[in-house]
Amino acid sequence: MESILRQVDERHEELLELLKTFISFETPAPPARNTKEAQLYVASLLEELGFEIDMWDVYPNDPNVVGILKGSDSNNYNSLIINGHMDVAEVSEDEQWETDPFTPIVRDGVVIGRGAADMKGGLAGAIFAIKLLREAGVELPGDLIFQSVIGEEVGEAGTLQCCKRGSTADFAVVVDTSDLHIQGQGGVITGWITVKSSQTYHDATRRNMIHAGGNLVAASAIEKMVKIIEGLQELERHWAVTKSYPGFPPGANTINPAVIEGGRHAAFIADECRLWVTVHFYPNETYDQVSKEVEDHILKVAEGDIWLRDNLPTFTWGGASMIEDRGEIFPSLEIDPTHAGVKLLAKSHHHVTGKEAIVDVSPTVTDGGWLADAGIPTAIYGPGDLLNAHSVNEQVSIEQLVEYTKTLMKFICEWTNNQE
């Protein structure tokens, strides 16, 4: 193993070339529907390494790739999923990149390009680690499953589709941006709250519905939504006081009124108003639980209003895509520091870096929650930091990329040779 680990240093230029190739595939989401060429390339690399390939379209021109390398004694040894996403954050036309975001630059100890940190560095390092193990003839008794998925940046959860297709293992590592911390995460769910009147009125009737003697029991849906927003703020403050989770700053469980849509024309009283909210919750909570808490509180707020009690708000939660249906879910992931997989990953990290592994929580979200939601013990561990993710001139440290590749190589070998 020490000899193979040294090869990462000796052949790190090959690793960088692989990462540069990945970056050169233009896969921003949005607009999405652009990963097929890159995913075909991943499939070809895995196939050369002996993996059986399962590739299918989640959306047109956006396929998932799952490679399966059967172990020599699958029934008795641990299986492992390595998971990462091929899509990258969008690039706006007015961003001041040093060069084209998809023409990578290597200099001063970093690789610069869209996706370098989030998270093509993680994908490249994982494949290179497996390549060196295979070239050295290292036997893996347990199954190794490699998932290169689409849609993470826009909530399309290619990982969820892998789970629905039956992809599972004894442990999973999501090689997303974590600065080499071993992490769990909170969760996110978006939702739409709708206030709607059963009647539509001309704006000339407004005097009748707001002044004495008007005799018209009616209301503007936009104005009533103000009460809903105030109710959300009350609940958000209550959560900040009553809930906490180690590693998160107080009040990280937020309710953001992100988008509001309402009314049809200046000559009408607004008969409908829709509010798009984003709810962040802690690793020990579920999206079903927190969405129910929001509903229960807002319905009580509505029951205290003379008009809303007869025109109760309705709720629509989640969604399969921020592009297709303007909604998403990222389940939470509560990491277990005592799990054999987490302990071995931390041990591998210490062996390579000489530093104790930091086990904590990510301030953002990944597809790891879907693996955990499917009952697979999961940890996030990857190169790159969140200051670079989605940033202009996004970059990843070459030194960190090499350390990550070595750590993952050692972990893959030892975990799939483990019978715990």
- Cα four-point dihedral sign 159, 160, 165, 169: positive
Angstrom distance (rounded) from CA 276 to CA 29: 20
Residue 217 φ then ψ, to 5°: -85, 95
87 is catalytic: yes
Query: Taking the CB of residue 230, how many other CB atoms lie within 10 A of it?
Result: 10
- Measured CA to CA in angstroms, residue 52 lies from 20, 42, 44, 351 at distances of 25, 12, 10, 31
State which amino acid sits at residue 7.
Answer: Q
Output DSSP code: residue 310.
G
Catalytic member of 62, 118, 143, 152: 152
Which of 282, 278, 286, 280 minimizes the C-alpha distance to 248?
A: 282
Which of 340, 336, 339, 390 minimizes the C-alpha distance to 364?
A: 390
Catalytic member of 87, 176, 271, 403: 87
Helix axes 2-10, 121-135, angle to 10 degrees: 130
- Measured CA to CA in angstroms, residue 148 lies from 62, 68, 103, 185, 367 at distances of 11, 12, 22, 20, 11
Pairing state between β 110-112 and 395-397: antiparallel
Which of 126, 130, 174, 76 minimizes the C-alpha distance to 376?
A: 174
Please name the helix (run of DSSP H) or strand (run of DSSP E) that holds residue 20, with its range, or none.
helix 12-24
Catalytic residues: 87, 152
